[in-house]
Amino acid sequence: MKAFVLNLERHTERRDAIEQQLKTREIEFEILSAVDGQCLSADTLDSVYSPSKTQAFLGRQLTKGEIGCVMSHCMALRRVVSDNLSAALILEDDAFISPMVKNIIDSLDGSILSGDYDVCLLTHVAKYSEWSSRQISGTESFLVPVVDAYLGSGYVVTNRGARRVIDYFSTIYHPFDYWNTFRRKRVIEVKAIVPYVIGQSELSTISELDEERRRISAGVSFGLIESLKRVVRRVIYEKFIYQIVKPILRIRRQPKGGLEKKFDVSQGRKLKAE
């Protein structure tokens, strides 16, 4: 399975680090020049982004970095379609690739035609269901349905999934890694690998993006009535609905940090003995 790596041209250190990891893991890859959101023109933003739809959905506007992130991932997905690939591994340049990834993606490549998933997350997922989970041959990992997950730094996407996500983002109005939204809207079938096999290196930009989001989120405003509705819905779900469906759906939480503790993720380069 081929990997497409999203990298801003100015981030040479991240590119060098991810290239070294992929060569060590013997994974075929291609570096794609990511879209720099800070350089997007007003005309480009007008053609791809809906401020009104975003405000209604998020209660805030997307940052230029978030918009560029969506455009970058969609660019990679278009390559999956145009190259007529059955599936591909999509990576951000700050990912830490564990030794298990090669076996996982080779096994996933053989299950594409069964229609098990459109996207399979290799990064950490907060919650998943044990229903219909199955062990990946030759590994200690399981393919499971996703209940709650974010992060877009490492995932396998099928050709069908790529086409569906591209169509969905004909207008951008939320961040790319809103897998829960994809699932609720039934855009794609999202599964995950548990335990997760792709983490974040010390070169990760997630903290930068989160800080940018926090600055924007400080001005979030849905209006009093809508804000109250959202609070009530969240309380009802967390205190009642989730507690009822949790045992029925066999929902489990996945601890975070296990992969990072097992391996040295400093810059994704100095790995401990495997």
**pLDDT tens digits, one per residue of 204-255:** 555 455 555 555 554 555 566 655 655 555 556 455 555 655 565 668 888 7
Q: Look at residue 267 in the predicted model and tell me its pLDDT.
A: 43
Q: Look at residue 225 in the predicted model and tell me its pLDDT.
A: 65
Domain count along the chain? 1
Q: Is 35 within the bounds of a domain?
A: yes
Q: Is 232 within the bounds of a domain?
A: no
Q: Is 240 within the bounds of a domain?
A: no
Q: Is 212 within the bounds of a domain?
A: yes
Q: Look at residue 4 in the predicted model and tell me its pLDDT.
A: 99
Q: Look at residue 108 in the predicted model and tell me its pLDDT.
A: 84
Q: Is 211 within the bounds of a domain?
A: yes
pLDDT greater than 80 at residue 113? no
3-class SS letters over 43-79:
HHHHHHECHHHHHHHHCCCCCHHHHHHHHHHHHHHHH
Question: pLDDT for 168-204, tens place per residue?
Answer: 999 999 999 999 999 999 999 999 999 999 998 766 5
Percentage of the chain surpassing pLDDT 70?
75
Question: pLDDT for 57-102, tens place per residue?
Answer: 999 999 999 999 999 999 999 999 999 999 999 999 999 999 999 9
Q: Look at residue 107 in the predicted model and tell me its pLDDT.
A: 86
Q: Is 239 within the bounds of a domain?
A: no
Q: Is 235 within the bounds of a domain?
A: no
Q: Which domain holds residue 179?
A: 3-220+254-268
- At 206, the amino acid letter reads I
Would you place residue 138 in the very low, low, confident or very high pLDDT band (cuts 50, 70, 90)?
Answer: confident
Q: Which residues pair with 6 in a beta bridge?
A: 32, 92
Q: Look at residue 273 in the predicted model and tell me its pLDDT.
A: 34
Q: Look at residue 230 in the predicted model and tell me its pLDDT.
A: 52
Mean pLDDT of 256-260: 73
Q: Look at residue 274 in the predicted model and tell me its pLDDT.
A: 38
Q: What is the CATH number of the domain that holds 197?
A: 3.90.550
Question: pLDDT for 16-43, tens place per residue?
Answer: 999 999 999 999 999 999 999 999 999 9
Q: Is 21 within the bounds of a domain?
A: yes
Q: Which residue has the higher pLDDT, 22 or 259?
A: 22
Question: pTM for the complete prediction?
Answer: 0.83
Q: Look at residue 271 in the predicted model and tell me its pLDDT.
A: 40
